[in-house]
Structure 1
Amino acid sequence: AAYDVELQRAIESLQADAIVLAGFMRILTPEFVDAFAGKLLNIHPSLLPKYKGLNTHQRAIDNGDKEHGVSVHFVTPELDGGPVIIQSRVPVFEDDTADDLAERVQEQERRIYPLVLSWFSAGRLKMLNNKAILDEQELPESGYASE
């Protein structure tokens, strides 16, 4: 909690418009998340709500999934539970290792996160009533351009 208090002070002093998480392996306190509601974005290596938390690639392989992917979402107090903004899917091949799958997922991460950040910085993307809104339209649960 002390870490979150210091981090919150530092971010507030910068008057940040957005807090962009990637590979941030720490669970933030609800107080911290609430202080920056609608400004906190995270990228997670799974097709949320599937495989919240760690070891997502191995879990997808172990469960025999045919596809896996990445989600960008707003951060809420629920771990990896905020509204999804966009997802990108990749195939899971029979002989994949977790590293093979991670490499394909990371290629998609590098494509979609900058897109989301451009929407956010242009004022096109926001969180309202725990929903992701793009161009004044509520996005579906699995995000932009989902089936």
Structure 2
Amino acid sequence: MTSRLVVLVSGTGTNLQALVDACADPAYGAHVVAVGADRDGIEGLARADRAGIATFVKQVKDFTTREHWDRAMADSVAGFEPDLIVLAGFMKLVSDDFLARFEHRVVNTHPALSPSFPGMNGPADALAYGVKVTGATLFVVDGGVDTGPIVAQVAVPVLDDDRVETLHERIKTAERTMLVETLGRMAREGWELDGRRVRIG
């Protein structure tokens, strides 16, 4: 039985595309059943349309409160009965209620080696600090900012002539590979959460 993925996006959807491409192989063990977004007219949604994947959009401005938006987003996600929800460049924080509804099934990536450099500027912070190695982290989302239990990590060396853009681009490439490989393993082998430790298989 293949795992059902719902992917939430806010932008170009390059990680989404990598997942869609991987899911084309039946041996991968998962398929993207829906793509949701917090804004309209983005390339991520266009990628889903081209692949024949159902889409939905919930914009915060269309709701009276952030809570109503969050509940509507959760309702839409739940309608597709996902095994995993992947936040792939999704630029909104989901609530504790959302996370409780899909307990330990929401994953996200961060362009740093957690717990280092949380927040929006991971590559810039790593560069400013002068670390020699940074990378990307796949984690189970919890109520904090990039603080959830770590599923996988990949290291990326910081080069002497790196700028934020060049470093971030290399991190994103490594992150995409890690995301696709790890989600495939989670889908095929199963996984469990024991405290902060995530075990696949």
TM-score (norm 1): 0.86
Q: Say if 2:179 is the partner of 1:113.
A: yes
* C-alpha contact (below 8 Å) 1:4/1:32 kept by paired residues: yes
- What RMSD in Å do the two structures reach over aligned CA positions? 1.3
**Residues of 1 paired with 2:196 and 2:73: CA distance?**
23
* Bigger Rg, structure 1 or 2: 2
Which ranges in structure 2 are unaligned for 5 or more consecutive residues?
Answer: 1-66
| 1:81-139 deviation digits (Å, cap 9, x = unpaired) | 1111111111111221101101110111121101111122124223244431222xxxx
Q: Identify which of 160, 166, 188 aligns with 1:122.
A: 188
| Residue identity in the other structure for 1:121 | A
Query: Once superposed, which parts of structure 1, at least 4 consecutive aligned residues long, lie more than 6 Å away?
Result: none
* C-alpha contact (below 8 Å) 1:75/1:82 kept by paired residues: yes
How many percent identity over aligned positions?
28
**Residues of 1 paired with 2:69 and 2:197: CA distance?**
28
**Residues of 1 paired with 2:70 and 2:124: CA distance?**
30
Q: Say if 2:183 is the partner of 1:78.
A: no
| 1:2-42 deviation digits (Å, cap 9, x = unpaired) | 22100110111111111011111111111111111121111
SS in 1 for 2:120: coil
SS in 2 for 1:10: helix
Cross-structure match for 1:35: 101
* Count of aligned positions: 135
TM-score (norm 2): 0.64
Cross-structure match for 1:134: 200
SS in 2 for 1:117: helix
SS in 2 for 1:41: strand
Point out the structure with the larger helix share.
Answer: 2
Cross-structure match for 1:5: 71
Range 64-73 or range 112-121, more displaced: 112-121
Cross-structure match for 2:169: 103
Q: Say if 2:134 is the partner of 1:68.
A: yes
Q: Say if 2:94 is the partner of 1:25.
A: no
Which ranges in structure 1 are unaligned for 5 or more consecutive residues?
Answer: 136-147
**Residues of 2 paired with 1:122 and 1:128: CA distance?**
19
